[in-house]
Amino acid sequence: MTNVQPHPRRTAGRGTVGSLALCALLLVAAGVAAWFIPNAASDEQAWHRATPCAAGTPAAGRDNCLTTVPAVIARTDVNMPKQPSWLYFKDSRPLHRLQVSADAAQDFEAGDHVRLTVWRGQVMEVAGAGNSWHEHIITARSLAVVTALLALAAGYPAAMVLVRLRGRRLPDGEVLPSALPFAGALAGTALWLLPLCFLHPTDLLASPTRIVWAAAGSLLSLALLAAAWRATRVRTPEGVAAAGRPAEGEADGAARQPGQDEVFVSARFLEPTDFNPHGFGTHIALGDGAPAVTPGPGRYAAKRIPVERLTVRNVRRARDSDGDTVPRSWHIAELDDAGTPIRLAAAPDDLTRIIRALEPAGA
Protein backbone atom coordinates (compact mmCIF):
# COMPACT_ATOMS: atom_id res chain seq x y z
CA MET A 1 0.00 0.00 0.00
CA THR A 2 1.34 3.42 -0.94
CA ASN A 3 1.96 5.74 1.99
CA VAL A 4 0.66 9.18 0.97
CA GLN A 5 2.40 12.03 2.78
CA PRO A 6 0.43 15.21 3.56
CA HIS A 7 1.21 18.15 1.31
CA PRO A 8 3.45 20.67 3.12
CA ARG A 9 1.29 23.65 2.20
CA ARG A 10 -1.87 21.89 3.40
CA THR A 11 -0.18 20.95 6.67
CA ALA A 12 1.06 24.52 7.13
CA GLY A 13 -2.46 25.81 6.49
CA ARG A 14 -3.89 23.57 9.19
CA GLY A 15 -1.15 24.73 11.53
CA THR A 16 -2.00 28.37 10.86
CA VAL A 17 -5.70 27.80 11.56
CA GLY A 18 -4.85 25.92 14.76
CA SER A 19 -2.51 28.69 15.94
CA LEU A 20 -5.14 31.35 15.22
CA ALA A 21 -7.75 29.37 17.15
CA LEU A 22 -5.43 28.97 20.12
CA CYS A 23 -4.56 32.67 20.05
CA ALA A 24 -8.24 33.62 19.97
CA LEU A 25 -9.06 31.21 22.81
CA LEU A 26 -6.31 32.62 25.01
CA LEU A 27 -7.37 36.21 24.28
CA VAL A 28 -10.98 35.40 25.15
CA ALA A 29 -9.83 33.80 28.40
CA ALA A 30 -7.74 36.89 29.15
CA GLY A 31 -10.75 39.11 28.48
CA VAL A 32 -12.94 37.07 30.82
CA ALA A 33 -10.32 37.23 33.58
CA ALA A 34 -9.95 41.00 33.09
CA TRP A 35 -13.74 41.40 33.28
CA PHE A 36 -13.80 40.01 36.82
CA ILE A 37 -10.94 42.12 38.18
CA PRO A 38 -13.13 45.04 39.41
CA ASN A 39 -15.58 42.66 41.12
CA ALA A 40 -12.73 40.74 42.72
CA ALA A 41 -11.21 43.99 44.00
CA SER A 42 -14.58 45.08 45.42
CA ASP A 43 -15.20 41.72 47.14
CA GLU A 44 -11.68 41.65 48.54
CA GLN A 45 -12.07 45.11 50.05
CA ALA A 46 -15.50 44.24 51.44
CA TRP A 47 -14.14 41.09 53.10
CA HIS A 48 -11.25 42.92 54.75
CA ARG A 49 -13.58 45.68 55.99
CA ALA A 50 -16.29 43.35 57.27
CA THR A 51 -16.96 43.51 61.02
CA PRO A 52 -18.91 41.16 63.32
CA CYS A 53 -22.66 41.49 63.07
CA ALA A 54 -24.40 43.25 65.93
CA ALA A 55 -26.57 41.10 68.18
CA GLY A 56 -29.81 42.59 66.88
CA THR A 57 -28.94 42.46 63.17
CA PRO A 58 -31.74 40.64 61.31
CA ALA A 59 -30.88 37.65 59.11
CA ALA A 60 -31.62 39.65 55.95
CA GLY A 61 -28.98 42.23 56.89
CA ARG A 62 -26.14 39.86 57.76
CA ASP A 63 -24.67 39.48 54.26
CA ASN A 64 -22.01 42.14 54.69
CA CYS A 65 -21.10 41.48 58.30
CA LEU A 66 -19.53 38.47 59.97
CA THR A 67 -21.64 35.86 61.75
CA THR A 68 -19.95 33.39 64.10
CA VAL A 69 -21.63 30.00 64.49
CA PRO A 70 -20.51 27.20 66.86
CA ALA A 71 -20.22 23.65 65.54
CA VAL A 72 -18.76 20.24 66.36
CA ILE A 73 -16.69 18.17 63.93
CA ALA A 74 -18.38 14.79 63.37
CA ARG A 75 -15.66 13.33 61.14
CA THR A 76 -13.15 14.30 58.48
CA ASP A 77 -12.55 12.99 54.99
CA VAL A 78 -8.93 13.46 53.89
CA ASN A 79 -8.18 12.84 50.20
CA MET A 80 -5.30 13.40 47.83
CA PRO A 81 -4.29 17.04 47.21
CA LYS A 82 -6.05 17.17 43.81
CA GLN A 83 -9.27 15.76 45.28
CA PRO A 84 -11.62 17.59 47.66
CA SER A 85 -11.33 16.93 51.39
CA TRP A 86 -14.27 17.47 53.76
CA LEU A 87 -15.22 18.42 57.30
CA TYR A 88 -18.52 16.84 58.44
CA PHE A 89 -20.49 18.48 61.26
CA LYS A 90 -22.46 16.85 64.05
CA ASP A 91 -26.21 16.83 63.43
CA SER A 92 -25.47 18.60 60.11
CA ARG A 93 -25.38 21.93 61.94
CA PRO A 94 -24.93 24.57 60.69
CA LEU A 95 -24.35 22.58 57.50
CA HIS A 96 -23.75 18.95 56.57
CA ARG A 97 -20.17 19.26 55.32
CA LEU A 98 -17.61 21.81 54.17
CA GLN A 99 -14.94 21.38 51.50
CA VAL A 100 -11.47 22.25 52.81
CA SER A 101 -7.85 21.59 51.92
CA ALA A 102 -6.26 18.23 52.70
CA ASP A 103 -4.00 19.85 55.32
CA ALA A 104 -6.99 21.40 57.09
CA ALA A 105 -8.87 18.10 57.10
CA GLN A 106 -5.84 16.48 58.74
CA ASP A 107 -5.59 19.20 61.40
CA PHE A 108 -9.15 18.76 62.68
CA GLU A 109 -10.44 15.66 64.46
CA ALA A 110 -13.84 14.25 65.30
CA GLY A 111 -15.25 15.89 68.42
CA ASP A 112 -13.41 19.19 67.96
CA HIS A 113 -15.47 22.24 68.93
CA VAL A 114 -15.01 24.93 66.30
CA ARG A 115 -16.34 28.36 65.33
CA LEU A 116 -17.51 29.01 61.78
CA THR A 117 -17.33 32.54 60.37
CA VAL A 118 -20.05 33.12 57.78
CA TRP A 119 -20.01 36.02 55.28
CA ARG A 120 -22.49 36.51 52.49
CA GLY A 121 -23.92 33.07 53.17
CA GLN A 122 -20.56 31.32 52.80
CA VAL A 123 -18.32 29.79 55.48
CA MET A 124 -15.07 31.73 55.25
CA GLU A 125 -13.23 30.45 58.32
CA VAL A 126 -13.18 27.44 60.63
CA ALA A 127 -11.31 27.99 63.89
CA GLY A 128 -10.72 25.51 66.68
CA ALA A 129 -8.27 25.03 69.55
CA GLY A 130 -5.02 25.82 67.77
CA ASN A 131 -6.29 24.91 64.29
CA SER A 132 -7.88 27.07 61.64
CA TRP A 133 -8.85 27.07 57.99
CA HIS A 134 -9.53 30.08 55.74
CA GLU A 135 -11.42 30.12 52.44
CA HIS A 136 -9.27 31.28 49.59
CA ILE A 137 -10.23 34.71 48.27
CA ILE A 138 -9.72 35.35 44.56
CA THR A 139 -7.83 38.62 44.61
CA ALA A 140 -7.66 41.33 41.97
CA ARG A 141 -3.89 40.87 41.95
CA SER A 142 -4.10 37.21 41.03
CA LEU A 143 -6.68 37.88 38.31
CA ALA A 144 -4.58 40.70 36.86
CA VAL A 145 -1.52 38.45 36.71
CA VAL A 146 -3.57 35.65 35.11
CA THR A 147 -4.93 38.12 32.56
CA ALA A 148 -1.43 39.28 31.65
CA LEU A 149 -0.12 35.71 31.42
CA LEU A 150 -2.97 34.65 29.13
CA ALA A 151 -2.46 37.68 26.89
CA LEU A 152 1.28 37.02 26.69
CA ALA A 153 0.67 33.34 26.00
CA ALA A 154 -1.60 34.34 23.11
CA GLY A 155 1.35 36.17 21.61
CA TYR A 156 3.28 33.00 20.84
CA PRO A 157 0.74 31.33 18.52
CA ALA A 158 0.27 34.76 16.94
CA ALA A 159 4.03 34.88 16.35
CA MET A 160 3.90 31.41 14.77
CA VAL A 161 1.24 32.66 12.36
CA LEU A 162 3.36 35.71 11.57
CA VAL A 163 6.40 33.55 10.82
CA ARG A 164 4.31 31.34 8.51
CA LEU A 165 2.93 34.36 6.68
CA ARG A 166 6.41 35.79 6.17
CA GLY A 167 7.56 32.48 4.73
CA ARG A 168 4.51 31.76 2.58
CA ARG A 169 6.50 32.30 -0.65
CA LEU A 170 9.15 29.75 0.25
CA PRO A 171 9.42 26.65 -1.94
CA ASP A 172 7.81 23.48 -0.61
CA GLY A 173 10.00 21.63 1.85
CA GLU A 174 12.01 24.62 3.10
CA VAL A 175 11.78 25.00 6.86
CA LEU A 176 10.49 28.16 8.43
CA PRO A 177 12.46 30.18 10.99
CA SER A 178 11.68 29.34 14.60
CA ALA A 179 9.27 31.59 16.49
CA LEU A 180 11.33 31.22 19.68
CA PRO A 181 12.83 34.75 19.40
CA PHE A 182 9.30 36.07 19.88
CA ALA A 183 8.95 33.83 22.95
CA GLY A 184 12.03 35.59 24.32
CA ALA A 185 10.43 38.97 23.64
CA LEU A 186 7.25 37.87 25.43
CA ALA A 187 9.29 36.62 28.39
CA GLY A 188 11.07 39.97 28.55
CA THR A 189 7.70 41.72 28.53
CA ALA A 190 6.54 39.52 31.40
CA LEU A 191 9.47 40.72 33.53
CA TRP A 192 8.04 44.24 33.75
CA LEU A 193 4.33 43.67 33.06
CA LEU A 194 3.58 41.00 35.70
CA PRO A 195 4.99 42.99 38.65
CA LEU A 196 3.06 46.05 37.49
CA CYS A 197 -0.17 44.05 37.28
CA PHE A 198 0.44 42.43 40.68
CA LEU A 199 1.18 45.66 42.52
CA HIS A 200 -1.45 47.82 40.79
CA PRO A 201 -4.17 45.55 39.38
CA THR A 202 -6.92 48.17 39.09
CA ASP A 203 -4.97 51.38 38.53
CA LEU A 204 -1.99 50.61 36.29
CA LEU A 205 -1.54 54.22 35.13
CA ALA A 206 -2.78 56.14 38.18
CA SER A 207 0.53 57.82 39.01
CA PRO A 208 3.50 59.30 37.11
CA THR A 209 5.75 56.52 38.44
CA ARG A 210 3.53 53.83 37.00
CA ILE A 211 3.23 55.67 33.69
CA VAL A 212 7.03 55.84 33.42
CA TRP A 213 7.23 52.16 34.40
CA ALA A 214 4.75 51.17 31.69
CA ALA A 215 6.36 53.45 29.08
CA ALA A 216 9.88 52.17 29.75
CA GLY A 217 8.65 48.59 29.72
CA SER A 218 6.80 49.15 26.45
CA LEU A 219 9.96 50.54 24.83
CA LEU A 220 11.87 47.48 26.04
CA SER A 221 9.20 45.19 24.58
CA LEU A 222 9.28 47.04 21.26
CA ALA A 223 13.05 46.63 21.12
CA LEU A 224 12.77 42.92 21.89
CA LEU A 225 10.06 42.45 19.28
CA ALA A 226 12.13 44.32 16.69
CA ALA A 227 15.06 42.02 17.46
CA ALA A 228 12.77 38.99 17.14
CA TRP A 229 11.48 40.33 13.81
CA ARG A 230 15.03 40.56 12.48
CA ALA A 231 15.97 37.16 13.88
CA THR A 232 13.03 35.46 12.15
CA ARG A 233 13.43 37.07 8.76
CA VAL A 234 13.71 34.71 5.82
CA ARG A 235 17.24 35.14 4.54
CA THR A 236 17.81 34.26 0.90
CA PRO A 237 21.08 32.37 0.49
CA GLU A 238 23.83 34.06 -1.47
CA GLY A 239 24.67 32.56 -4.81
CA VAL A 240 27.79 30.46 -5.17
CA ALA A 241 29.74 33.25 -6.85
CA ALA A 242 28.68 35.83 -4.28
CA ALA A 243 29.52 33.50 -1.42
CA GLY A 244 32.94 32.86 -2.85
CA ARG A 245 33.82 36.57 -3.12
CA PRO A 246 35.41 38.21 -0.08
CA ALA A 247 33.50 40.96 1.65
CA GLU A 248 34.31 44.56 0.78
CA GLY A 249 37.72 45.41 2.16
CA GLU A 250 38.64 41.74 2.78
CA ALA A 251 41.49 40.17 0.84
CA ASP A 252 41.09 36.94 -1.11
CA GLY A 253 41.74 33.91 1.10
CA ALA A 254 41.48 36.00 4.27
CA ALA A 255 40.13 32.99 6.13
CA ARG A 256 43.48 31.25 5.67
CA GLN A 257 45.99 34.05 5.94
CA PRO A 258 49.15 33.14 7.88
CA GLY A 259 49.17 34.61 11.35
CA GLN A 260 45.42 35.12 11.44
CA ASP A 261 43.75 34.00 14.65
CA GLU A 262 42.14 30.61 14.30
CA VAL A 263 38.39 30.34 14.78
CA PHE A 264 36.09 27.36 15.14
CA VAL A 265 32.79 27.77 13.33
CA SER A 266 29.75 25.64 14.17
CA ALA A 267 29.03 23.62 11.03
CA ARG A 268 28.18 20.06 10.07
CA PHE A 269 28.71 17.89 7.02
CA LEU A 270 25.46 15.95 6.75
CA GLU A 271 27.04 12.93 5.05
CA PRO A 272 29.89 10.85 6.49
CA THR A 273 33.10 11.10 4.48
CA ASP A 274 36.72 10.07 4.93
CA PHE A 275 37.40 13.45 6.56
CA ASN A 276 34.14 13.34 8.55
CA PRO A 277 33.80 9.68 9.60
CA HIS A 278 30.46 8.75 11.17
CA GLY A 279 29.49 12.45 11.02
CA PHE A 280 31.66 13.22 14.06
CA GLY A 281 32.37 16.85 13.13
CA THR A 282 30.50 19.71 14.80
CA HIS A 283 32.88 22.58 13.91
CA ILE A 284 35.19 23.71 11.13
CA ALA A 285 38.52 25.29 11.99
CA LEU A 286 39.35 28.36 9.91
CA GLY A 287 42.38 30.59 10.05
CA ASP A 288 46.08 29.77 9.94
CA GLY A 289 46.25 26.59 7.92
CA ALA A 290 43.92 24.44 5.88
CA PRO A 291 40.28 24.19 6.99
CA ALA A 292 39.64 21.14 9.14
CA VAL A 293 36.67 19.29 10.61
CA THR A 294 36.76 19.02 14.41
CA PRO A 295 34.47 17.38 16.99
CA GLY A 296 34.36 20.60 18.98
CA PRO A 297 35.88 24.09 19.27
CA GLY A 298 39.45 22.80 19.39
CA ARG A 299 42.12 21.09 17.26
CA TYR A 300 41.72 17.74 19.03
CA ALA A 301 41.04 14.95 16.48
CA ALA A 302 40.92 17.52 13.67
CA LYS A 303 40.77 16.15 10.13
CA ARG A 304 41.88 18.27 7.19
CA ILE A 305 39.21 19.07 4.59
CA PRO A 306 40.49 18.17 1.09
CA VAL A 307 39.51 21.48 -0.44
CA GLU A 308 41.26 20.58 -3.69
CA ARG A 309 38.57 18.03 -4.53
CA LEU A 310 35.54 20.02 -3.37
CA THR A 311 33.35 22.16 -5.61
CA VAL A 312 30.44 24.30 -4.41
CA ARG A 313 27.37 23.60 -6.55
CA ASN A 314 24.60 25.48 -4.76
CA VAL A 315 23.69 27.34 -1.58
CA ARG A 316 20.12 27.14 -0.30
CA ARG A 317 17.96 27.36 2.79
CA ALA A 318 17.43 24.29 4.98
CA ARG A 319 14.66 21.88 4.02
CA ASP A 320 12.67 19.26 5.89
CA SER A 321 14.69 16.58 4.08
CA ASP A 322 17.90 17.85 5.71
CA GLY A 323 16.83 16.38 9.05
CA ASP A 324 15.88 17.68 12.47
CA THR A 325 19.49 18.22 13.54
CA VAL A 326 19.86 21.24 11.27
CA PRO A 327 18.65 24.48 12.92
CA ARG A 328 15.97 26.27 10.95
CA SER A 329 18.04 29.41 10.55
CA TRP A 330 20.99 27.58 8.93
CA HIS A 331 21.72 27.37 5.22
CA ILE A 332 22.97 24.39 3.22
CA ALA A 333 25.87 24.31 0.78
CA GLU A 334 25.60 21.51 -1.77
CA LEU A 335 29.11 20.34 -2.58
CA ASP A 336 30.68 17.94 -5.04
CA ASP A 337 33.34 15.77 -3.43
CA ALA A 338 35.14 14.27 -6.43
CA GLY A 339 31.83 13.19 -7.94
CA THR A 340 30.01 12.45 -4.65
CA PRO A 341 27.34 14.97 -3.57
CA ILE A 342 27.60 16.06 0.07
CA ARG A 343 25.95 18.78 2.12
CA LEU A 344 27.44 21.29 4.54
CA ALA A 345 25.17 23.08 7.04
CA ALA A 346 26.00 26.25 8.97
CA ALA A 347 24.58 29.62 9.94
CA PRO A 348 24.33 31.89 6.88
CA ASP A 349 27.26 34.18 7.70
CA ASP A 350 29.41 31.28 8.88
CA LEU A 351 28.60 29.28 5.75
CA THR A 352 29.63 32.20 3.56
CA ARG A 353 32.94 32.41 5.40
CA ILE A 354 33.53 28.65 5.07
CA ILE A 355 32.80 28.74 1.35
CA ARG A 356 35.31 31.55 0.94
CA ALA A 357 37.87 29.28 2.55
CA LEU A 358 36.94 26.30 0.37
CA GLU A 359 36.15 27.77 -3.04
CA PRO A 360 39.42 29.53 -3.89
CA ALA A 361 41.45 26.47 -3.04
CA GLY A 362 39.10 24.22 -4.96
CA ALA A 363 38.98 26.45 -8.00
**What single-letter DSSP state applies at residue 300?**
T
In the chain, the amino acid numbered 324 is D
Alpha helices by DSSP H, the chain? 8-35, 37-49, 102-107, 140-166, 180-199, 208-231, 240-244, 348-362
Q: Which residues contact 292 (CB under 8 A, 6 or more apart)?
A: 284, 285, 299, 302, 303, 304, 305
pLDDT in tens, the chain (363 residues): 445 555 555 556 677 888 999 999 999 999 999 999 999 999 999 999 999 998 888 877 888 899 999 999 999 999 887 889 999 999 999 999 999 999 889 999 999 999 999 999 899 999 988 889 999 889 999 999 999 999 999 999 999 999 988 877 776 667 778 899 999 999 999 999 999 999 999 888 888 999 999 999 999 999 999 999 998 887 767 655 455 454 444 444 333 334 457 889 999 999 999 999 888 889 999 887 789 999 988 888 889 999 888 999 999 888 888 888 888 888 999 999 989 999 999 998 899 899 988 865 444
Q: Are 124 and 135 in contact (CB under 8 A)?
A: yes
Distance CA(327)–CA(345), nearest Å, equals 9
pLDDT of residue 246: 47
What pLDDT, on the 0 to 100 scale, is given for residue 153? 97
What is the reported pTM? Answer: 0.70
Q: What is the dihedral angle through the alpha carbons of 179, 183, 184, 190, rounded to the nearest 10 degrees?
A: 160
CA proximity to 43, closest of 120, 118, 125: 120
d(CA 289, CA 303): 12
In contact, 144 and 38? CB cutoff 8 Å: no
